Structure 1
Amino acid sequence: MKQGDVIHGYRILGKPTNTDAGKCLWTFAEKDGREFFIKEFLDPRRPRPNFMGSPEDRRAIEAQCDEFELRHRSVNERIDPKHLHAGNLVVPLDFFAEGSRYYKVTARVHPTDLREPQELTPYGKRVLLGTLADSLWYLHSLRIVHGDLKPQNVLVHRPDGSDLHTAKLIDFDDAFPSGSPPDPMLIGGDPRYGAPEWVGYVRGEPEVGPEQLTIAADMFAFGLVAHTYLTGGPPGFDARHGSPAEAVNAGERLVFDDRLDPELVEVLHALADVRPTARPTIGHVQELLEHEEKLAFRRITTESRRGTGRRSRVRINLDGRAPKAEFGRTGEKRK
């Protein structure tokens, strides 16, 4: 894919890049007077007619490509972009193969540069998190796991004439049916937001089967994302661990900002539970988000700080390897 190429009718407008894109290249394209975001997958690659490998190698590659196509098409076909709760999903408009490469096309979204979402009013936070929760509710009603929920995959959008911000959920490349993830060697996701069971599955731990990777994995990530939007940063955890999931798997509790409402903190702890079945559903979270007073910072007194542990930062990883507060400001650079 090069600037000026025409691929499947899409004219490539810019120089492709793999910035923040993993095994993909991305850029913008134009077709019929409209602008699009286009992504080229670097893996898997379909064998060409002059493939030099053995017949067995060809069959293995073709099987991997068939699985890749089936997973992407099955997710895409389940989503109805006209559904009431699908309005903030940036769904694929086209998915095709040309030559040896696969491509995916979505509408181009122009995000808002919202650097400090924690400074929004409680009502503004309710709208931002509420629209994200609505999108996740719709995916989960279809038994679809997003698989890579994180701030970088949420475009913050401010509609024309409005001072409110909505969350546009993007990047369904790592989505899969609940309980049926790809092979551990092929599954996507981000270790900084991955659930405890995701970590075990990727590592090939025998006690973690594919049936354990369900929509509850998204809920673990949603708790981390919500804390980031509400406070400007991720929850804390012991610096000996490389991620929140690793800390939770070690039996530790994440440290949430003590300015948050106690009921909200209780829900965040439940979302971070090591047991997938113990985590609240997105519907439960939506009910809490209706009460915008729960999203306001509370006044902190010496008395209310006692026992929170928030001041004990020597062993708490608040920036190091914890998820960074990146809010998808530039928009379309995605894995």
Structure 2
Amino acid sequence: MRMGQILNGYEVVTRPTNADAGKCIWAFARKDGEEFFIKEYLDPKRPRPDSMGSVADKKRRHAECRRFELRQQRVADALRGDHPKAGNLVLTRDFFVDGTRYYKVTERIAAADVRPHELDATRQLVLVRTLADSLSLLHENGIVHGDLKPENVLLHQPEGSKLHIAKLIDFDDAYPVGDPPPRTVVAGNPLYGAPEWLGYVRSEPTFRQADLTGAVDVFAFALLVHTYLTGAPPEHDPRHESPAAAVLAGSRLRWDHALGGDWHEVLDAMTDGVPTARPDVSAAAATIGGLLGRSGDRPPGRPAPARGRSRVRINLTGRADVRPRGRLRINLSSSPLPDEGNR
């Protein structure tokens, strides 16, 4: 991909970069007067008949590409852009192959230069609530985001509004509940990954694919909430390289003392070392909303005046069911891959 290139009708209008993109490069593009975000995947590469490599190597690469396409399609099928909660999901607009490379196109979102911990409680509540609604929609449809971190949440200020909302992006590494990619390729961020994700990546025998559910996102959501409220993620035992590693070793995370005991209680629940003991996103967001609601417009991180401590109550719910119901159809039929049976 290069500036000025036209890919499937999209004109690349900025110089491509791989900043915060992992195994991709990205740029902004234009088509029919609209602006888009376009991403080129560096891996996997789709082999052509004249590509180098043995027959066995090409067959292996075809199979890898087929799995990649199917995972993209399963996520697209599970998420509907016309759902009432989908307004803040930045979903795929187009997914295609050009030569040996895959491309994904989404809406271009203007990110606001804002520090959430400097906002008042009402505006913080809007951020948390909009992010929770997006995660809740994913989980209701049996999808785990799998790579929830600050870089994958764009803070957007709609035109004419004084509020900021959270736009959830980058579903490249999303997967159906309990069915993540193999340990060697599953994505995630060590600073926001959940203990069960870390154990799975480490190939620890007690952690299986089935353990990676929406609770993975709930763990990361707790760390994001703490960052939004205080300006920094929670501290953890320095003997461990990450929050997940600390919790996996039986250590608790250290929340900002200014948040107060009720906040500590809900955040402890969301980062419990046992995934099934964590509340679902909706229950956690409801409790967080109640805490922010009684904060008024005080500076962030300041506890309420003492009036007798009220306990936080979190009702745990069951896991989300998978109910695929998508609208986007990924069409790569111009150069079809071999069927599953031909791998």
User: TM-score scaled by structure 1?
Assistant: 0.87
Is the aligned partner of 1:174 residue 2:173? Answer: yes
Q: Which amino acid aligns with 1:208?
A: F
Structure 1 ranges of 4+ moved more than 3 A = none
Once residues 203 and 150 of structure 1 are traced to their aligned partners in structure 2, the CA distance between those partners, rounded to angstroms, is 20
Q: Which amino acid aligns with 1:258?
A: H
Q: What do the CA deviations read for 1:158-211 (whole angstroms, capped 9, x no partner)?
A: 111211111001010110000000011111111110000111111111221100
Is the aligned partner of 1:251 residue 2:250? Answer: yes
Mapping for residues 1-335 of structure 1, pairs under 5 Å? 1-114=1-114, 116-291=115-290, 292-293=293-294, 297-298=302-303
Offset of residue 59 of structure 1: 1.0
Once residues 23 and 294 of structure 1 are traced to their aligned partners in structure 2, the CA distance between those partners, rounded to angstroms, is 42
Q: Any stretches of 5+ residues in structure 1 without a counterpart?
A: 305-335
SS at 2:154 equivalent: strand
Q: Which amino acid aligns with 1:233?
A: A
Offset of residue 88 of structure 1: 0.5
Once residues 7 and 201 of structure 1 are traced to their aligned partners in structure 2, the CA distance between those partners, rounded to angstroms, is 38
Root-mean-square deviation over aligned CA pairs: 1.6
Q: Which amino acid aligns with 2:63?
A: A
SS at 1:240 equivalent: coil
Offset of residue 264 of structure 1: 2.1
SS at 1:39 equivalent: strand
Q: Which amino acid aligns with 1:93?
A: R
Q: Which amino acid aligns with 1:136?
A: L
Q: Is the CA contact 2:237–2:246 (under 8 Å) kept in the aligned structure 1?
A: yes
Once residues 252 and 184 of structure 1 are traced to their aligned partners in structure 2, the CA distance between those partners, rounded to angstroms, is 24
Offset of residue 294 of structure 1: 5.4
SS at 1:290 equivalent: helix
Once residues 162 and 51 of structure 1 are traced to their aligned partners in structure 2, the CA distance between those partners, rounded to angstroms, is 52
Q: Is the CA contact 1:267–1:280 (under 8 Å) kept in the aligned structure 2?
A: no
SS at 1:93 equivalent: strand
Offset of residue 300 of structure 1: 9.3
SS at 2:259 equivalent: coil
Once residues 253 and 241 of structure 1 are traced to their aligned partners in structure 2, the CA distance between those partners, rounded to angstroms, is 12
Once residues 67 and 260 of structure 1 are traced to their aligned partners in structure 2, the CA distance between those partners, rounded to angstroms, is 45
Offset of residue 71 of structure 1: 0.4
Q: Is the CA contact 1:90–1:107 (under 8 Å) kept in the aligned structure 2?
A: yes
Once residues 261 and 160 of structure 1 are traced to their aligned partners in structure 2, the CA distance between those partners, rounded to angstroms, is 35
Offset of residue 111 of structure 1: 1.0
Offset of residue 118 of structure 1: 1.1
Q: Which amino acid aligns with 1:29?
A: A
Q: What do the CA deviations read for 1:221-251 (whole angstroms, capped 9, x no partner)?
A: 0000000001100000111211100010111
Q: Which amino acid aligns with 1:293?
A: R
Once residues 253 and 49 of structure 1 are traced to their aligned partners in structure 2, the CA distance between those partners, rounded to angstroms, is 54
Q: Which amino acid aligns with 2:11?
A: R
Identity %: 52
Q: Which amino acid aligns with 1:210?
A: Q
User: TM-score scaled by structure 2?
Assistant: 0.85
Once residues 84 and 214 of structure 2 are traced to their aligned partners in structure 1, the CA distance between those partners, rounded to angstroms, is 20
Once residues 288 and 92 of structure 2 are traced to their aligned partners in structure 1, the CA distance between those partners, rounded to angstroms, is 28
